[in-house]
């Protein structure tokens, strides 16, 4: 729970008595993290903050000399301890070498809160444990805590309660215990209350050699450091150097230690504020206007990834919570991990399996951020940038309650470290889970040059990555698809283009659920060259969302598949590993497939579309077979009649009415027109087609 504006407490290593009212001590502060802001700002902006237990007794500590050593993580401070009142003078006699008496606070001007709106938005909000983020005297806090802008900074005036705190006589016998407690670093403020008395009717003024202890309503501070502004106190009043309230102040901070000389009764205490590290501010993503603006800028997102460490095979990630962080990101800000993967032994070696998995999780670059979210160190909502899509083994952490509340987006460059552009089955399952948990996932796709968001159409669990500007189109679109050879192109351009144009035009006349006047269209292919490229190119020309489900067909020694490269007309996509052909085909979810000339792959796709209609997982909408009658007879008729003869498709003969062989766009449109007007019924009562399909040139 380290904060970068403060150090750990320091201990006295040298002690010199100047007088009964003054000690001069050297304080050593160790184990200061390199991130302490005091190492980099003007030394005059770093102050010594005395422990409040000493201040409440009447001691003030003034830092005189500061020596900070970043390389050793140490600081040496010369502090003058002044006693105000008889209790404090007695306490000076008990202080010893080894007593921890205070820490350093870096009052960095850059971190000073300037606008009241920064704090006022915290009123009424709480952290994950239900504790108010900022309040005075209640959850809302807006009535008792008034924020104002003075001299370019936000100041809160805390109203004081009537009366003051005084000590009973037993405090003197407790002072040795306090001295020992300072050496052992025990919490002492609660014990001090045993010796304090509240005088509700006492006046709140101060005189020489007197400490005035005043109270406010219980204060909650979770999102900032608060510091008493000494120069804004009423004339004649000063606050001790126990003036900083840390962001773990919880229903406390209600006693303030004042000294000076004034007959005028003091009524309030002014506080100024300093921001925490961005990821500890408890800030909601909806409040980060600049960050949201940057995330709407595609070029800014691509630029952010250019700051990631090289080489490209470095597994690296960073958690971003504010826009300025994106603007100033460097390679040093990213976390780099080199996981050492071992084959997992399986469930029969449960203990060893669990150990290896835990080690593998801890080696992931996203682990430190997710762990700190779970532990409550990271409290601000933000987005995760990672060069490679997170390993599915991270699902347990990504979907944990605390992470799901804090993580407002995942941005990645590449789907897989080992397989490049291609997702595994486990990857896609995790994408579905992240979608259900409302964690947006974005592919920063260098191929399309776009930011693609993972989306699922209603009623489907097979999503796609879609350009953000096209998300509504994807969710509402009726989907057409083009299947065909990756070797043939240029033969079907005109007819495919005319078919889709006619469908677009017919929307104004249709009242079918799949084709309304405002229904957008989407076209999906396998994403490769040939017929697929033709389909995607035509879709883009007609301003139809152009998508693809792309399989890894890169050549291997055993394969005879022509290498398939992603065609340049794809806007939305999903990718699949080499062995996941059936899964990929099952996720096309086409409303209206269109087949052109193809080979083995096309035959496979044709059979699967037929099976999907047979088992009822797809509606029996018409499928177009574009090409010459004899070509489709040679592919379909013999198989269909063979099945008829042997009785292997009894009850399924009606499926022959799903296929319509067309040679012209007019024939195709006649089929669609009849279907969309409810005059083309495809069901078990439909007649058996001897060819295994319908010759549209004769019937339409």
In the chain, where are the structural domains located? 1-111, 112-163+203-276, 288-446, 468-700
Cα(214)–Cα(179) distance, integer angstroms: 24
| Both tokens assigned to 535 | 């389909």
Q: Which of 678, 280, 335 is nearest to 512 (CA)?
A: 678
Find out whether 147 and 123 touch, Cβ atoms under 8 Å. no
If you average pLDDT over residues 550-576, what whole number do you get? 80
> Long-range contact list for 131-134, CB < 8 A, 24+ apart?
131/220, 131/222, 131/250, 132/220, 132/222, 133/220, 133/222, 133/223, 133/282, 134/220, 134/221, 134/222, 134/223, 134/224
pLDDT of residue 124: 79
Given a cut of 70, whether residue 563 has pLDDT beyond it is: no
pLDDT (0 to 100) of residue 28: 98
Residue 465 has pLDDT above 60, yes or no: yes
| pLDDT on residue 319 | 98
CA–CA distance, 188 with 96 (Å, rounded to integer): 16
Phi and psi at residue 384, to the nearest 5° = -105, 125
Torsion angle of alpha carbons 177, 183, 185, 187, nearest 10°? 20
Model confidence at 477, pLDDT cuts 50, 70, 90, reads very high
pLDDT on residue 461: 85
CATH number of 1-111: 2.40.30
The Cβ of residue 623 has, within 10 Å, a number of other Cβ atoms equal to 23
| Percentage with pLDDT > 70 across the chain | 96
- Contact partners, residue 518, CB within 8 Å, separation at least 6: 507
Quickly count helices (H) and strands (E) in the chain.
22, 34
pLDDT bucket at 560, cuts 50 / 70 / 90: low
d(CA 656, CA 308): 56
Using CA atoms, how far apart are residues 519 and 347, in angstroms rounded to an integer?
50
- Domain 468-700 in this protein, CATH class: alpha beta
Residue 145 has pLDDT above 90, yes or no: no
- pLDDT for 445 equals 97
- Residues 446, 301: contact at Cβ < 8 Å? no
User: From CA 310, how far away is CA 314, in angstroms rounded?
Assistant: 6
- pLDDT value at position 696? 95
The dihedrals phi and psi of 266, each to the nearest 5 degrees, come to -80, 145
**What is the average per-residue pLDDT within 148-161?**
92
At residue 144, does pLDDT exceed 70? no
Question: Phi and psi for 336 in degrees, rounded to 5?
Answer: -115, 135
Handedness of CA 582, 583, 586, 587 (dihedral sign): negative
- What would the two tokens of residue 352 be? 């060893």
pTM: 0.86
Neighbours of 35 (CB within 10 A): 12
Res 138: pLDDT: 59
Burial class (CB in 10 A: 0-12, 13-18, 19+), 484: buried
> How much is the pLDDT for 99?
97
Backbone angle region of 358, left / alpha / beta, with phi > 0 → left and psi within -120 to 50 → alpha? alpha
pLDDT for the residue numbered 339: 76
Q: What is the mean pLDDT of the segment spanning 218-229?
A: 89
Quote the pLDDT of residue 285.
Answer: 93
CATH number for the domain running over 112-163+203-276: 2.70.40
- On the question of pLDDT at 555 being above 80, the answer is no
pLDDT at position 41 is 94
In this model, does residue 56 exceed pLDDT 60?
A: yes
Topology at the third CATH level for domain 288-446: Cytidine Deaminase; domain 2 (3.40.140)
Instruction: Average the pLDDT over 598-608 and give the result.
Output: 92
As a whole-number percent, the residues of the chain with pLDDT over 90 amount to: 79
Average of per-residue pLDDT across 412-426: 94
Q: Which residue has the higher pLDDT, 486 or 234?
A: 234
Distance CA 217, CA 160 (A): 8
Q: Reply yes or no on whether the pLDDT at 43 is more than 60.
A: yes
CA gap 388, 337 in Å, rounded: 12
| Burial per residue of 116-138, b for 16 or more beta-carbon CB atoms within 10 angstroms, e otherwise | bebbebbbebbeeeeebbbbbbb
141 has pLDDT over 60? no
Average pLDDT over residues 543-559: 83
């Amino acid at each position: 729970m380290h904060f970068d504006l403060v150090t750990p407490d320091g201990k006295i290593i040298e002690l010199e008595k100047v007088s009964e009212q003054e000690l001069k001590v050297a304080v050593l502060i160790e184990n200061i993290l390199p991130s302490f802001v005091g190492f980099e700002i003007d030394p005059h902006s770093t102050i010594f903050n005395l422990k409040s237990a000493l201040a409440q007794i009447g001691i003030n500590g003034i830092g005189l000399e500061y020596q900070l050593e970043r390389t050793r993580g140490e600081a040496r401070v010369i502090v003058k301890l002044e006693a105000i009142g008889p209790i404090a003078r007695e306490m000076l006699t008990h202080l010893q070498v080894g007593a921890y008496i205070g820490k350093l606070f870096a009052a960095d001007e850059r971190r000073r809160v300037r606008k009241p709106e920064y704090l006022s938005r915290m009123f009424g909000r709480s952290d994950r444990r239900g504790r108010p983020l900022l309040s005075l005297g209640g959850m809302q806090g807006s009535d008792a805590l008034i924020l104002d802008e003075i001299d370019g900074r936000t100041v809160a005036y805390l109203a004081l309660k009537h009366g003051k705190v005084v000590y009973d006589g037993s405090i003197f016998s407790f002072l040795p215990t306090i001295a020992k407690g300072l050496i052992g670093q025990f919490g002492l403020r609660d014990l001090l209350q045993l010796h304090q008395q509240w005088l509700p009717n006492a006046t709140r003024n101060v005189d020489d050699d007197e400490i005035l202890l005043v109270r406010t309503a219980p204060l909650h501070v979770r999102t900032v450091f608060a510091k008493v502004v000494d120069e804004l106190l009423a004339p004649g009043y000063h606050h001790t150097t126990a003036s900083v309230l840390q962001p773990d102040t919880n229903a406390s901070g209600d006693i303030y230690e004042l000294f000076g000389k004034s007959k005028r009764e003091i009524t309030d205490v002014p506080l100024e504020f300093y921001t925490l590290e961005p990821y500890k501010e408890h800030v909601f993503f909806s409040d980060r206007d600049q960050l949201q603006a940057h995330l709407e800028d595609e070029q800014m997102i691509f630029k952010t990834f250019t700051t990631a460490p090289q080489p490209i095979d470095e597994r690296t990630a960073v958690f971003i919570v504010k826009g300025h962080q994106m603007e100033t990101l460097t390679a040093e800000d990213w976390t780099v991990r080199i996981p050492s993967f071992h084959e997992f032994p399986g469930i029969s070696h449960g203990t060893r399996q669990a150990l290896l998995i835990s080690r593998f999780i801890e080696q992931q670059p996203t682990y430190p951020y997710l762990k700190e979210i779970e532990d409550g160190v990271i409290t601000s909502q933000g987005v995760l940038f990672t060069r490679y899509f997170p390993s599915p083994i991270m699902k347990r952490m990504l979907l944990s309650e605390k992470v799901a509340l804090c993580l407002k987006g995942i941005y990645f460059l590449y789907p897989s470290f080992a397989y490049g552009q291609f997702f595994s089955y486990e990857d896609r399952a995790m994408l579905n889970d992240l979608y259900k948990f409302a964690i947006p996932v974005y592919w920063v796709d260098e191929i399309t040059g776009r930011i693609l968001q993972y989306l699922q159409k209603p009623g489907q669990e097979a999503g796609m990555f879609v350009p953000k500007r096209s998300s509504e189109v994807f969710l509402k679109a009726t989907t057409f698809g083009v299947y065909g050879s990756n070797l043939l192109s240029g033969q079907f351009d005109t007819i495919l283009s005319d078919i889709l144009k006619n469908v677009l035009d017919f929307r104004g006349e249709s009242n079918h659920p799949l084709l309304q006047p405002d229904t957008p269209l989407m076209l999906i292919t396998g994403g490769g060259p040939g017929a697929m490229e033709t389909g995607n190119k035509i879709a883009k020309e007609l301003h139809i969302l152009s998508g693809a489900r792309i399989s890894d067909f890169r050549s291997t020694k055993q394969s005879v598949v022509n290498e398939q490269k992603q065609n340049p007309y794809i806007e939305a996509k999903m990718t699949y590993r080499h062995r996941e052909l059936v899964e990929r085909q099952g996720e096309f979810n086409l409303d209206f497939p269109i087949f052109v000339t193809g080979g083995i792959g096309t035959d496979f796709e044709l059979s699967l579309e037929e099976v999907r209609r047979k088992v009822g997982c797809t509606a029996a909408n018409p499928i177009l077979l574009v090409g010459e009658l004899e070509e489709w007879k040679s592919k379909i008729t013999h198989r269909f009649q063979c099945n008829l003869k042997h009785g292997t498709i009894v009850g399924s003969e009606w499926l022959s009415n799903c296929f319509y062989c067309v040679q012209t766009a007019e024939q195709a449109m006649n089929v669609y027109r009849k279907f969309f007007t409810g005059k083309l019924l495809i069901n078990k009562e439909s007649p058996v087609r001897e060819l295994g399909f319908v010759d549209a040139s004769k019937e339409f």
